[in-house]
Amino acid sequence: MLSTTAWSVPNPTIRYDGHKVLQILPKTIEDVHELLSLAKKYHLDIWKSPRYLNETFDVRVDPEQITDFVNDIEALGLKANHWITDVQKLIDEISSGRNRRATFSIGAFNDHASINAYLDSLASANPHVTVHTMGNSYEGRAIKYVKISNNLGVNKKAIYADGGIHAREWLAVTTVLYFIDQIANNPSRDRTIDALLGKFDFYFAPVVNPDGYEYSRSHDRMWRKNRRPVISGCNGVDLNRNFAYHWNPDNGGSRNPCEEVHAGTHATSEIETKHLQNFLCSHSNLIAYLNVHTYGQYWIYPWGYTPILPTDYRDLDHLGRSAATAIRHTHGRTFTVGEDTRVLYAAAGGADDYAKGACGVKYSYTVELRDTGLHGFVAPTSYIIPAGEETFAGFKAFATELVHYE
């Protein structure tokens, strides 16, 4: 169903009153395993899994479970820090003010129909921009992307970024839109952008999971997957576990359709995955790909399915570091650079692995935007512009360095 409502952020019907996000610091590797099995026992929504012992485990707990869960944590000799004390309060802050508008703005969380209309209007106003559709989502929404080129007649080497593969990660959508605005309109007349347009073509798809995105706006702010009904009562596949490169639901995903990381019944079971795979492999000029997510502040590269490093990992690492340095110089945030499984966790069937492994897109990354847990998935409106600025600074540094590597 496609709808344009008068308010662009309606209040979702599922509420998270009294839900807390707890941060727990595991002391041993056994603690990590215990925490994961507790999360399974209580069917908790894991916001962040630790990779190293000095990293926290972030998990959302509802008010009915909190006492039992905290008792179990304390029985392990660990402390649960009440990091976000009321998830609904964060959601309500965003549902008010300037997001409650139907008109598109780079500084707001826009609905999918307005985003597509913006891409169309950009293309009709700007001779360097063309708009295309990868295909339609399960519920029939057009998955659009723009191509930005200073010479649409020749194919240059190209860089592609997409957002919104996970529905609730709204800041990924706004950040890709920020990139589009900067490169297409160059509002600050930045010569670096002109230089980059002399070298590369750019492709951007701000919302690759539009059904999930709209559902997270209208019904459940915490929705992650797409919306296809899989079994009665449980909808959705985690698209970033569904790609056809070393697909394996037992490696960081799940065979259970009711879980957040359900990998599908087989690789490419989802129409959205299929469109994205076709896009990635059919554009042979692609040399770089950013699959943008929130949160955690990482700029990471394949493989996600194995800790074995790609043979050219030094190149990927070097360019990732150029990005992270530029990000730090913008608003002071630190982004961790490294291989997926080593800095985050193993998860097979990711878009980054597919782009590199199946389509040969050498510089393929997952970028996890700000923050490190203060707002987590519920990024406030006040993050939109600064996150755009810092990530775009990283993007420019990355692309500038890429010129020398190609």
100 by Cβ neighbours in 10 Å (0-12 / 13-18 / 19+) ranks as middle
Q: Which of 70, 347, 355, 397 binds ligand ARG (CB under 6 A)?
A: 347
Tokens 């706006």 locate to: 217
Q: With contact defined as beta carbons under 8 Å apart, do 109 and 379 qualify? A: no
Assess 350 for contact with ligand ARG (CB under 6 A).
yes
Q: Where on the phi/psi map is residue 92: left (φ > 0), alpha (ψ -120 to 50), or beta?
A: alpha
Residue type, 117: A
Q: In DSSP terms, which residues pair with 22 in a beta bridge?
A: 59, 82
DSSP string, 346-368: --SS-HHHHHHHTT--SEEEEEE
Q: What share of the chain is helix, strand, coil (3-state, %, to 5)?
A: 35, 20, 45
CB closer to Zn ion, 70 vs 163: 163
Smallest gap from residue 304 Cβ to Zn ion (A): 12
Smallest gap from residue 69 Cβ to ligand ARG (A): 22
Residue nearest to ligand ARG (CB): 304
Binders of ligand ARG in range 325-344 (CB under 6 A): 340, 344
Stretch of residues binding ligand ARG (CB under 6 A), selected from 118-126, 203-211, 215-223, 346-354: 346-354
- The entry of Zn ion, ligand ARG, none near residue 353 (CB within 5 to 8 angstroms by kind) is ligand ARG
CB closer to ligand ARG, 228 vs 293: 293
Q: Strand, coil or helix: what is 387?
A: helix
DSSP string, 26-80: -SSHHHHHHHHHHHHHTT-EEEE--SSTTS-EEEEE-TTTHHHHHHHHHHTT--E
Mask for 288-307, x = binds ligand ARG (CB under 6 A)? -----x----------x---
359 by Cβ neighbours in 10 Å (0-12 / 13-18 / 19+) ranks as buried
CB closer to ligand ARG, 116 vs 294: 294
Strands 336-339 and 229-231: what pairing? unpaired
Assess 310 for contact with ligand ARG (CB under 6 A).
no
Smallest gap from residue 294 Cβ to ligand ARG (A): 9
Q: Which of 209, 218, 240, 336 binds ligand ARG (CB under 6 A)?
A: 240
Mask for 183-222, x = binds ligand ARG (CB under 6 A)? ----------------------------------------
Tokens 């008109």 locate to: 103
- Give the C-alpha separation, 253 to 311, whole Å: 25
Q: Which residues are catalytic?
A: 368
- The entry of ligand ARG, Zn ion, none near residue 55 (CB within 5 to 8 angstroms by kind) is none
Smallest gap from residue 293 Cβ to Zn ion (A): 3
Binders of Zn ion in range 262-321 (CB under 5 A): 293
Stretch of residues binding ligand ARG (CB under 6 A), selected from 82-90, 331-339, 347-355, 378-386: 347-355
Assess 357 for contact with ligand ARG (CB under 6 A).
no
CB closer to ligand ARG, 211 vs 353: 353
Smallest gap from residue 44 Cβ to ligand ARG (A): 16
For 131, the token pair is 């708009």
Give the DSSP H or E segment for 200: strand 200-205
Which residues are within 8 A (CB) of 239 and not within 5 positions of it... i.e. 6 or more apart? Answer: 165, 166, 208, 209, 225, 226, 270, 272, 273, 276, 351
Smallest gap from residue 340 Cβ to ligand ARG (A): 4
CB closer to Zn ion, 293 vs 356: 293
Report how far Cα 64 is from the mean position of its chain's Cα atoms: 30
Where do contacts with Zn ion occur on this chain (CB under 5 A)? 166, 293
Where do contacts with ligand ARG occur on this chain (CB under 6 A)? 240, 293, 304, 340, 344, 347, 350, 352-353, 366
